[in-house]
A and B are shown apart, each in its own frame.
Chain A
Amino acid sequence: MKKESLILLDTNICIYRTLAYVQPKIYRTELDEVTNKIDSLSNNNFKCNIVISNLVISELKNNSILFWEINNFCFIRLHVRNKYQVLKIFNQAKKSMGKFISKYSISQELEENIKNYPLNLQEIDQFYLKFPQKLQSLTHTKIKNISNPRQKQIKISQRPNDLPEETDRKLLCQAIEIKKLHHSDVYIFSCDGDFTEFVNEIPLEFGINILKLGDTIPSCGED
């Protein structure tokens, strides 16, 4: 990894980072891993520029989305027994989220410079549509835990032709714009299959790297 690369954090990574600081501590390796990775990348060795995009900030500030993500995490990963305990974790996460967002939030200048990012959307849709089977399988994974048929339908409608949700596609658009402007290495740090299932294809197509959980960070200076 090159020094001073730019790393865009996906919503799920921001939530993991926040959950890592909830008290009493939640012992999950993925939470510690996210914290350690962000710390390592931002230290003097790598001096990476960690950025939370305005798209991700909107999702994090949307209590409905935040609660849904935390609820799923608590039941699927933590096997929480009582539903009310999710409320406690959600409220604590919400309180510490503010500091984290303000530390890494995208600068106004950068946001302004990449405002034409939606122009890349068509290119991104065309790219994803080359992998219909992979997309279908991702949609299936994402809806399997939704019990309500109406909600399942809503989720499916958010993935037209099984394409990733609009926010994810737009995040990739932003990464492309940043890459064009800054000529630095740009990464998206995510644990969402819409990115992590394309770790080879996205860099080849767009020159954007995908950093996922379980990856070891290459030494400073390595590509």
Chain B
Amino acid sequence: MLSSFSFDDFFSEYNLKTIEDKDLFLASLLSFKNFNSTQIHKLSFLTFAEDKVIIPFEFIKMPHGPFSEDIKDLLNDFSERGLVTLNKEDHGTWEEKKWNLSSKGQQLLLINKDKVDEIKKKLKKIIEVYGISGAKALERFCYSNYLLKYANEKPKDYEARIQTSICDLQIILANRINDLGKIEEIDESSREVILACLDYIENLLNTLLSNEQIDQVIRGILIKKTENYINIWGEIICLANGNENEPKIKDLLKEAKELFNFINTSSKNYGIFESVF
């Protein structure tokens, strides 16, 4: 089955969704609804980590989970420029401070309507899935899904948990490499390029395993995404034996290319591992 796919189906540069304009990113996010600061940090993070959109902010681990200094500065800057106001929302027993776009902020959206429409398309999925979640729920999701260190967890226990996750992935990866070597009906050049990609993942995992100084947030993202990538290859290898799986394999190969490019770009942007592109 794999012989029906071309080299470029297995490996090529994938154009990741990207948002470069910080102002329009924040204004577009707030155009969906009003959010508090924690929600803004978490939704921005999930846009990057879950939906694989490259955004112009870096995240680090803070007590409430993924946090971006750039976003904090940008919110202050927006406030000073009169683009947003921080208003109290009364929930009966408790109050919540949320950021609202001012009329000046709305004007910024109008002036840049085309660009904003594009950005909103890229944000839509995350807003639909997570936009209704409160700050606490988003925080919990980030902690559990991205392997962050819980407040009551000892550093050595966290490190042991991470190291176990990485070692498990290394074992599965070794099996995948072995399985790929056994598939006969694949062009040798395509096999070599897949093995080269898996070798990149193997070297990245070694770095994530040996360098405890890497921030928990990017470490968590890269572990999760390499896990997804290795699993996709597992699925492809299984499906390769069937005769009617071509459309499904095609989708999986596309997903694998997107993931590989995302892992590569994120590793490079956070200074963790070199880029192959």
A interface residue numbers (CB < 8 A to B) = 62-65, 67-68, 71, 82-84, 86-88, 91, 146, 148-151
Which of A84, A91, A151 is in CB contact (< 8 Å) with B203? A84
B:1-51 near A, CB below 8 Å: 6-8, 11-13
In the complex, are the beta carbons of B187 and A84 less than 8 A apart? no
Interfacial chain B residues near A146, Cβ < 8 Å: 188
Check A83–B199 contact: CB distance below 8 A.
yes
Chain A nearest CB from B98 CB (Å) reads 45
In the bound complex, CA of A136 to CA of B19 (Å): 57
Q: Are A87 and B189 in contact (CB under 8 A)?
A: no
Do residues B277 and A84 form an inter-chain contact, with CB atoms below 8 A? no
Q: Complex Cα distance A62/B196, Å?
A: 18
CB-contact partner of A68 in B11, B189, B195, B277, under 8 A = B189
Cα separation A162 to B192 with both chains bound (whole Å): 26
Q: CB within 8 A of B276: which of A63, A67, A91?
A: A91
Other-chain contact of A148, B6, B184, B195, B196 (Cβ < 8 Å): B184
What is the bound-complex CA distance between A32 and B190, given in angstroms? 29
Q: Knowing A64-B189, A88-B276 are in contact, say whether A83-B7 is a contact too (CB < 8 A).
A: no
A68→B192 contact, CB < 8 A: yes
Residues of A close to B191: CB separation below 8 A: 148
By CB atoms of chain A within 10 A, which of B8, B196, B197, B203 has the most? B196
User: A84 vs B202: C-alpha distance in the bound complex, in angstroms?
Assistant: 9
Chain B interface size, under 10 / 10 to 19 / 20 to 34 / 35 or more: 20 to 34
Whole-angstrom distance from the CB of A137 to the nearest CB of chain B?
A: 22
Question: What are 11 A-B residue pairs whose CB atoms fall within 8 Å in the complex?
Answer: A62-B7, A63-B7, A63-B12, A64-B7, A83-B195, A84-B197, A87-B197, A88-B276, A91-B13, A148-B188, A151-B187
Docked CA distance A29–B199 (Å)? 28
B159-200: CB near A (< 8 Å → 1, else 0) gives 000000000000000000000000011011111110111011
Query: Is B188 a contact partner of A83 (Cβ separation < 8 A)?
Result: no
The distance from the CB of A220 to the nearest CB of chain B, in whole angstroms, is 41
Chain A residue nearest in CB terms to B185: A150
Q: Which chain B residue lies CB-closest to A87?
A: B276
CA A67 – CA B12 in complex, angstroms?
A: 11
A83 proximity list for chain B (CB < 8 A)? 192, 195-196, 199
Q: Given A87-B276, A151-B188, are A63 and B196 also a contact pair (CB < 8 Å)?
A: no
Known contacts A64-B6, A88-B274; decide if A71 and B197 are in contact (CB<8 Å): no
Closest CB-CB distance, A23 to chain B, in whole Å?
A: 13
Q: Say yes or no: A82 contacts B199, CB within 8 Å.
A: yes
With contacts A67-B189, A68-B188 known, what are 9 further pairs, Cβ within 8 A? A63-B7, A63-B8, A64-B190, A83-B195, A87-B193, A87-B197, A91-B277, A148-B184, A151-B187
